[in-house]
Amino acid sequence: MTTTLPGQDTAALLARLDLDADALSSGDLEVRTPITGEVIARIPSTTEQEADAAIARAVEAFEAWREVPAPRRGELVRLLADELRQEKEALGALVTLEAGKIGQEGLGEVQEMIDICDFAVGLSRQLYGLTIASERPGHRMMETWHPLGPVGVITAFNFPVAVWSWNSALAFVCGDPVLWKPSSRTPLTALACEALFRRAVQRFGDAPDGLLQVLIGNAGRALVDDPRVPLVSATGSTAMGRAMAPKVAARLGRSLLELGGNNAMIVTPTADLDLAVRRPALHLAAAADRPRVGRRCAGRAAGAGLRQRSGRRSARARHALRAADLAGRIRCDADRARPRPAGRRHRHRRRASP
């Protein structure tokens, strides 16, 4: 029995989410929990041939799924939301185990998945088109939106499941299959979501095979380069986006990019400086226990006359955080002491999405 959280049997948790721990123990990709550094799975990477076959299946699924009425497609997403509600605690625990988030953040991320599914179900009955006046007598023009095709979704480690759902729930109701390449740090949560989706498909009854497929490892290159994938939605570092976007554009594909950066908070002369300083400090405090390994989008810009005063307050806030974060410091020290896989330090320096 492998136990990585107090009182938790990892194999039992995976089994609850329809994952076989034994089948996830002999691959080339090591998955470690950032909580203890322990290896919790070894998953086989997707080969180039497997990625090509997955894209072909997605193309075939698209030909069938695009003909399903949008409200009926919404029914599949509704069933997926039901499965997420049923397994919210288990999937949230897996997010905590694999991504290192605190328990409430793991549960909150699954709730975001449920919320976007509910939104997408409503959207499935609102895929409206315009009726446009024509200069020709007795004529009118109508606008109809058509499904696009297989959608590639590339996600970062700091939101391992929510970002996928934001893309996929909408893609499914719009008639598009999804090819998901999760972060190599968090593939277990992706496989668990795929398993829950299979449950929803079984209840749905007549969905084509290949609506959702997970590609592990370096398979994201196939999604970027293959013209059979008309849209690639990617979340990650700015460097990744700069490298990816020209390749997709060269084949006249479309990119949807959410890259590293800060959400600006502009401090004006009338602002409450104590509150302005405290807000980013709270973001840092939430990251202190490494739920996102510090990857939160929080920035602040102050006018020249305010910088000195806000700077002093910021320094006091930082000192208070350091004093209060004894447990976090101990955990970080333990993390530095244990061996890291090759390339881990470089990945920690990369900036992920909000």
The residues annotated with a catalytic role in the active site are 258, 297
Evaluate whether 238 touches 259 at the Cβ level (below 8 Å): yes
Burial letters for 293-302: b for 16+ Cβ neighbours within 10 Å, e otherwise? bebbbbebeb
Angle at 91 between CA 87 and CA 97, to 5 degrees: 150
Q: Which residues contact 101 (CB under 8 A, 6 or more apart)?
A: 95, 109, 291, 292
Single-letter residue type at 59: V
Task: Yes or no: say if 38 and 45 are a contact pair by the CB < 8 Å rule.
Answer: no
Q: How far apart are CA 162 and CA 113, in angstroms?
A: 5
151 forms beta bridges with 178, 231
- From the list 347, 333, 330, 291, the residue with the least C-alpha distance to 282 is 291
Measure Cα distances from 93 to 3, 10, 107, 167, 231 in Å.
13, 10, 7, 22, 31
Length of the chain measured in residues:
354
